[in-house]
């Protein structure tokens, strides 16, 4: 594989990674809000008593966990973005090398 | 110390649906994230941790459903259509049964006066009897209790089925009005709409001796509205309005009228029966065939439902469900 082809490959890889990072970010929001509707309905319901209290507590715990997972997803997407940036740099470097060689 | 608690089972149906929706979305997210990270070549533990939360949602949904069923059991026993009494004893939740639902007042003036020509309603009420009454109640209870759970993954049907079950329940909770309302169901049936509903009630009664071919009143085939004069017509009109409320909660029909007329209604009815059959099959997990060709489903809560897609007497698409219940436990203890 020549330098130009390698440069194109890394550039393409960078684009794909950037797209994937964006998709992961989009899902982070959905993960964070996964139990919002359930929590609203539990709060709205007339369900009371120890079982309902337990449900409230567990829902709060799991929603907090979901928010942490969503934050980690944002971190992961940033890491994928960084990988995309590295691929772009590599592609740029390869293009420079190809121009020099030409 | 006991603490009395009240809750609305319908509210828990909403919670259960919300949890079911979260569950489906969560499973989808786990799948999508797994795929995204794999495509990125970037391993992550987030999908597996999210899967743990999704597993909890699954458990939560099951717990809510169990709680709702317990409330409905208490509701059934307590004769309270909307509220149930649940008591806490030694840290455990128990549903305390109250006296059973009484049979209709067979010789009461109300049913006879409101259901048509003198004596006919009374005679019909006699024929309805305790057994058919119990069967009607059991059918109402089953529709209200089981179908929303079984059909929660369908977008439009669950609410309608549940409302229909509640409507049946309300109808059955007022015994003195039942004959008049059944008469009106027959009227609706004759007009080509909702006749599967009439079939359902007629089926519940028919199992105990009411002639299906002629209907509970025995006179709807004549074309006579059977209201027995102006007063009866007014009563029927009132009952009709009430039934429309029951059958069209929020103005949305249950089992739409078909633009193709009676034939279309028949097709819709048959489709509803097939849907119900599928739901029962999914809920029961297993079945066995009775000697008369009906399918007997053993449900998880111990109930046995006999499903027959068609009336044995005239082949009409009737909802011919014969739920039988094991002896109700005196105290139901939640797990």
In chain B, DSSP finds a helix count (H) and a strand count (E) of 9, 8
Asked if B12 and A27 come within 8 Å (Cβ–Cβ), the reply is no
How many CB atoms sit inside 10 A of residue B39's CB?
13
Q: Which residues contact B140 (CB under 8 A, 6 or more apart)?
A: B165, B168, B169, B171, B172
Q: Do A48 and B7 touch (CB under 8 A)?
A: yes
In this structure, of A29-33, B41-45, B321-325, the range with the lowest mean pLDDT score is B321-325
Among B63-67, B194-198, B280-284, where is mean pLDDT lowest?
B194-198
**What does the block give as tokens for B256?**
């739409």
Q: Show Cβ contacts of residue B125 under 8 Å, excluding neighbours closer than 6 positions.
A: B104, B105, B106, B107, B108, B111, B112, B115, B178, B179
What the block records as the tokens of B6 is: 């009240």
As a whole-number percent, the residues of chain A with pLDDT over 70 amount to 96
ipTM of the complex, rounded to two decimals: 0.89
Of B77 and A21, which is predicted with more confidence?
A21
What is the C-alpha separation between B252 and B264, in angstroms, rounded?
18
Q: Give the residue on B whose Cα is nearest the Cα of A70.
A: B46
CB contact under 8 A, B3 and A49: yes
- Asked if pLDDT for residue B60 goes beyond 90, the answer is no
CB atoms within 10 A of CB B216: 28
Helix (H) or strand (E) holding B282: helix B262-284
B67 three-state secondary structure: helix
Q: Is the pLDDT of residue B317 over 50?
A: no
With contact defined as beta carbons under 8 Å apart, do B323 and B200 qualify?
A: no
Q: Is pLDDT at B192 greater than 50 in this prediction?
A: no
Size of interface A-B (CB pairs under 8 A): 109
d(CA B306, CA B311): 13
SS3 letters across B94-140: EECCCCCCCCCCCCCHHHHHHCCCCCHHHHHHHHHHHHHHHHHHHHH
CB atoms B60 and A55 under 8 Å: yes
- Between A8-12, A75-79, B162-166, B193-197, the lowest mean confidence (pLDDT) is in B193-197
| Burial bucket for residue B54 (CB in 10 Å: 0-12, 13-18, 19+) | buried
Whether pLDDT at B130 is above 90: no
Distance CA B49, CA B51 (A): 5
Which comes out higher in pLDDT, residue A88 or B239? Answer: A88
B6 CB neighbours in chain A (<8 A) are: 46, 48
A30 sits in which H/E element: helix A3-32
Q: Of the ranges A54-58, A75-79, B166-170, B287-291, which one carries the lowest mean pLDDT score?
A: B166-170
Nearest beta carbon to residue B42 from set A46, A59, A80: A80
Picking from B12, B49, B63, the nearest residue to A45 by CB comes out as B12
Chain B residues near residue A48 by CB distance under 8 angstroms: 5-7
The confidence score (pLDDT) of residue A98 equals 92
- Judged against a pLDDT cut of 50, whether residue B61 lies above it is answered with yes
Q: State how beta strands B84-89 and B3-7 pair.
A: antiparallel
H or E, element range at A83: helix A50-101
Pairwise pLDDT comparison (A41 vs B180), residue with the higher score: A41
Whole-angstrom distance, CA of residue B54 vs CA of residue B34: 14
B82/B7 Cα distance (integer angstroms): 8
Phi-psi region for residue B203, left (φ > 0), alpha (ψ -120 to 50) or beta?
Answer: alpha
- Residue A20 pLDDT > 50: yes
Among B9, B11, B30, B36, most A C-beta atoms within 10 A, so best to mutate, is B36
**Residues B16-59: tens digit of each pLDDT:** 888 888 988 999 999 999 999 988 888 899 999 999 999 999 88
Strand ranges in chain B using DSSP code E only, listed in sequence order: 3-7, 84-89, 92-95, 287-289, 295-298, 304-308, 320-324, 332-333
**B71 and B81 in contact (C-beta within 8 Å)?**
no
Average pLDDT over residues B306-311: 52
- Measured distance between the N- and C-terminal CA atoms of chain B, rounded to whole angstroms: 20
**Among A10-19, A49-58, B207-216, where is mean pLDDT lowest?**
B207-216
The average pLDDT across A11-19 equals 94
Q: Mean pLDDT over all residues of chain B?
A: 48
pLDDT above 50 (res B266): no
């Amino acid at each position: 594989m020549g330098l130009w082809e390698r440069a194109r490959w890394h550039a393409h890889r960078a684009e794909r990674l950037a797209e994937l990072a964006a998709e992961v970010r989009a899902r982070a929001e959905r993960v964070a809000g996964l139990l919002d509707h359930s929590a609203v309905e539990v709060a709205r319901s007339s369900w009371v008593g120890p079982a309902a209290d337990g449900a409230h507590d567990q829902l709060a715990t799991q929603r907090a966990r979901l928010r942490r997972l969503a934050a980690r997803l944002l971190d992961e997407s940033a890491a994928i973005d960084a990988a995309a940036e590295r691929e772009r740099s590599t592609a740029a470097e390869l293009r420079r090398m190809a121009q020099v060689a030409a | 110390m006991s603490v009395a608690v009240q809750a609305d089972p319908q509210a828990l149906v909403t919670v259960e649906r919300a949890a079911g929706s979260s569950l489906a979305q969560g499973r989808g997210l786990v799948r999508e994230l797994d795929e995204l990270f794999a495509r990125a070549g970037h391993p992550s533990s987030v999908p597996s941790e999210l899967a743990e939360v999704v597993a909890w949602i699954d458990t939560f949904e099951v717990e809510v459903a169990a709680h709702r069923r317990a409330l409905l059991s208490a509701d059934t026993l307590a004769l309270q259509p909307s509220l149930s009494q649940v008591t806490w004893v030694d840290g455990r939740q128990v549903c305390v049964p109250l006296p059973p639902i009484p049979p209709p007042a067979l010789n009461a003036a109300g049913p006879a006066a409101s259901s048509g020509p003198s004596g006919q309603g009374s005679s019909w009420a006699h024929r309805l009897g305790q057994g058919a009454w119990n069967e009607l109640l059991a059918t109402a209870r089953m529709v209200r209790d089981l179908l929303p759970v079984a059909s929660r993954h369908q977008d439009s049907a669950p609410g309608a089925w549940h409302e229909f079950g509640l409507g049946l329940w309300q109808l059955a909770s007022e015994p003195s009005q039942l004959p008049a309302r059944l008469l009106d169901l027959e009227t609706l049936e004759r007009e080509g709409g909702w006749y599967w509903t009439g079939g359902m009630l007629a089926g519940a009664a028919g199992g105990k001796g009411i002639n299906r071919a002629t209907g509970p009143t025995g006179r709807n085939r004549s074309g006579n509205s059977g209201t027995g004069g102006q007063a009866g017509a007014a009563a029927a009109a009132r009952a009709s309005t009430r039934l429309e409320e029951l059958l069209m909660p929020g103005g949305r029909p249950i089992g739409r009228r078909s633009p193709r007329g009676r034939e279309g209604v028949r097709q819709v009815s048959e489709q509803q029966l097939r849907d119900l059959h599928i739901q029962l099959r999914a809920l029961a997990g297993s079945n066995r065939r009775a000697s008369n060709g009906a399918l007997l489903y053993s449900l998880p809560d111990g109930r046995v439902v006999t499903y027959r897609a068609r009336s044995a007497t005239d082949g009409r698409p009737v909802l011919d469900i014969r739920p039988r219940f094991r002896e109700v436990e005196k105290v139901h203890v939640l797990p």
